[in-house]
Each structure stands twice: as C-alpha cells, then as structure tokens.
Amino acid sequence: MVDEDEVRAAYRRYVETRDAIDRGEKDWTALEAHFTDDAVFVDPAWGRVEGLPAIRRFWTESMAGLEDWTFPETFTLVEGPRVVTGFTQRMGERPGGGFYECPGMSVLYYAGDGRFCYELDLMNMAQVNELLREMGWKPPAHFNFPPPNPDRDDSLPPGREHLAQR
C-alpha cells in the first residue's frame, strides 16, 4: 500500500524545484532528482521520452528558447501512487495586463524513495499555437522544434504497470 502523505511530500519537493526553475534559480535538469532511472516522460509536442539520460536531454532541448515561460500549479490530487495536477502555462504578459496562458495537466506515478517513474503532460496544443500567433512569438535562434513524428505511447515504464492498477 502506498502512503499518500509520502507521495504528496515527494510531489511538493518536485514543485519546489519547478518553482525554482521558474524563478531562474535552477535549470530544467534539476528535476532529474525527482525521477527514477527508468522514468518515462510524455510531452504533448515531443512525445514519449524513456530513461533519465534521454529525459535530461529532452528538458534541455525542449525548453531552449522558452526560458521566460512559467508553469504555476493550480491544483493537485493524489490517489495511491498517482498524482494528477493542473498548471497554467504562462508564455508572456499581455500588453493590457494579464498573461498569454493556457491550462495544462500532468499525471505522475510515484515509484517510492521520493521519486516518480512517469509523467504525462497534457495540453491543448491548438490553443498554444493560437496564443503564440496572437502574441507574435518568433522562435529565438536557440529554439529546438519538436520531432516531426513523436512517439505517442503513453504507457508506464516496463515493469511498473502495476502502479496503474487499483
């Protein structure tokens, strides 16, 4: 049986790291402390990335040129080893006030020892593209585009399927 308080505490530490990234105090690879070596990360644009070394490269490549974007959390639900969280993707300030932003959700699975083995990020990419056009965003020279045909497999890492069972 999973201790949901342990899962919440691990997720709070993860959010603290993400908040430090948003403030520019750390880079995205700091999140690796919160994931297992066999972790799977599924991004709505980049697709499935397997294993911590590949995930580390993904964070570096996918976030290049997006350093001023932030991802404040809006809610968190925990059930067993599963965390479902909502966040806002803020992509810049609007001239008249407010932000260019859209909602997102993540599903994470806790593997124990303070680490997660899985994260699936969900977002309406059509809305993201509409906001980018509205704000007149142009990719900077160091921006990396997602792959043309990303792997859409959203299954848990091999051997960890039991975490999704009730």
What is the tally of structural domains in the chain? 1
Query: Which pLDDT belongs to residue 1?
Result: 79
* pLDDT surpasses 80 at 128: yes
Full domain range(s) for residue 128: 4-145
In a domain? residue 153: no
What are 65-116's pLDDT values in tens digits? 999 999 999 999 999 999 999 999 999 999 999 999 999 999 999 999 999 9
In a domain? residue 158: no
**Identity of the amino acid at 11:** Y
In a domain? residue 137: yes
Q: How far is CA 119 from the centre of its chain?
A: 7
The model carries a pTM of 0.94
In a domain? residue 136: yes
For range 145-156, the mean pLDDT? 96
Mean pLDDT, the chain, integer: 96
In a domain? residue 152: no
Q: State the CB neighbour count (10 A cutoff) for residue 46.
A: 18
In a domain? residue 55: yes
| Alpha helix positions (H), the chain | 4-22, 52-62, 125-134
Query: Which pLDDT belongs to residue 166?
Result: 66
* pLDDT surpasses 90 at 26: yes
Q: Domain with 136 in it: what CATH number?
A: 3.10.450.50
Task: List the beta bridge partners of residue 50.
Answer: 40
Rounded to whole angstroms, the Cα distance separating 11 from 51 reads 19
Element (H, E) at 16: helix 4-22
Q: DSSP 3-state assignment of 81?
A: coil
In a domain? residue 105: yes
Rounded to whole angstroms, the Cα distance separating 91 from 66 reads 8
In a domain? residue 154: no
